[in-house]
Amino acid sequence: MRYSRDLRGYGETTPDPQWPGGARIAVQIVVNYEEGGENSIEHGDAASEAFLSEIIGAQPWPGKRHWNMESIYDYGARAGFWRLHRLLKDIPVTVYGVATALERSPEQVAAMKSAGWEIATHGLKWIDYKDIPREVEADHIAQAIALHTAVTGERPRGFYQGRTSMNTVALGCEEGGFEYLADTIADDLPYWHVHNGRPQLMVPYTMDANDMRFSSGQGFGTGVEFFDYLRDSFDVLYAEGQAGAPKMMSVGLHCRLAGRPGRAMAIQRFLDHCRAHEGVWFASRLDIARHWAEVHPWQPRQRPSEMDRDSFVQKFGGIYEHSPWIAERVWDGEMGAVHDSAAGLAARMAQVFRSASDEERLGVLNAHPDLAGKLAQAKRLTADSTAEQASAGLDSLTDEERATFTRLNDAYVAKHGFPFIIAVRDHDKAGIMRAMQARIDNDTPTERAEAERQVARIGELRLKEALK
């Protein structure tokens, strides 16, 4: 089974985004423009809107117009938008524009363009696509692009559906004209997603630094709470940037929510807080996408989880000495992006080894050669074992050293029933000798456990070399 989700991401060490001017943080503000694109029987929908409004717990009204709901959305277009526009017109904002909402708001679109804001597509209508057939959603995306282009004068370069289906990201990739997709909240940095062999840049969005939480039961109650959250998010990310790991911070706003007077002040305070710091890059999502594509272009690399079985076993079958069955079982099990790193693949191979029968694990131990033994002298070690023993100087022993190793090897096997095993790349020749002399006196269960730990460690070191 191939697991589609990537739970590893960039891992412990994130790439340096090299933001313009050496910025320590990229701040990206989104204004969602949905007013006029929401569910309404006047828009041809079956019921009224029930999502992201002041009416907590609102339900759709089938076949009826919901006057309060409509007027809340109307406020976003009539008043909220202009308040946000006054606050943000000098900042590179990205608009998530629902195509039918943009069509119904020509003056607002003109103001967006006059401010130089990027207008990305937020789909054709502000509806939930979870149960919409794939072909219908694909048609809606195509209609959204066409309408967006006709209304704004150019096609959108970014896409955020928002209320997604399981097909949304794949359809965005397959459309082929988007410089980025934003239907992800998986990271603090852009990343490349591969669909059907084609890379697609993802610029993550946010659900937490987002005024939508004013409309949920567990969320912001006042503008002060919103500002506190934005400020704290900024401060943590800014500190990470100062420490050498810059990130991006997304802020999500809605005209009918943050555009209210009691909340707009939080945006002003947040902007003042950002501007009080050096090294802050305000950017649109398209700015960030283009920067990332230039500085961190897609680089194809070997991915073990995507190899066919024969190729995988051929490459990794020798990681555990003369025991290709471990690689076979790894490939036959669940694999995903977390196994495309040396650490991830080593952990899975160790898991398979530890889950094997006692007889199988003992067979792996006995497959290991004696250190500096007869196989080494006869040059019959595997390539990995040859390189490992050479790295510790075991290929250039004096006669006295060789005699000592032979004596200790024989005594160890006679007592424990398997060869002495140690990850030689972790030690020099003297350290290996001391370990042999110390471990030979262990009881066999203790030594068996230690030998198995060393086998897993050898596998990890070999994978680090194999996946450089």
Active site residues: 368
Q: Are residues 444 and 406 in contact, defined by beta-carbon separation less than 8 angstroms? A: no
> Could you count the other beta carbons within 10 Å of the beta carbon of residue 282?
19
Three-class secondary structure of residue 309 per DSSP: helix
Can you name the residues that pair with 96 across neighbouring β-strands? 32, 120
Residue 141 tokens read as: 């995306």
Long-range own/partner contacts, residues 333-336 (CB < 8 A, 24 or more apart)? 333/1, 334/1, 334/2, 334/3, 335/1, 335/2, 335/3, 335/304, 335/305, 336/2, 336/3, 336/4, 336/5, 336/6, 336/7, 336/305
| Count of other CB atoms within 10 angstroms of residue 86 | 12
Please state whether beta strands 191-195 and 180-181 pair in parallel, antiparallel, or not at all (unpaired).
unpaired
Q: How far is CA 336 from the centre of its chain?
A: 13
Residues β-bridged to residue 62: 47
Q: Tell me 130's DSSP state.
A: T
C-beta neighbour count of 168 within 10 angstroms: 24
118-121 and 180-181 strand pairing: unpaired
Cβ neighbours for 112, distance < 8 A, ≥ 6 positions apart: 33, 85, 95, 97, 119
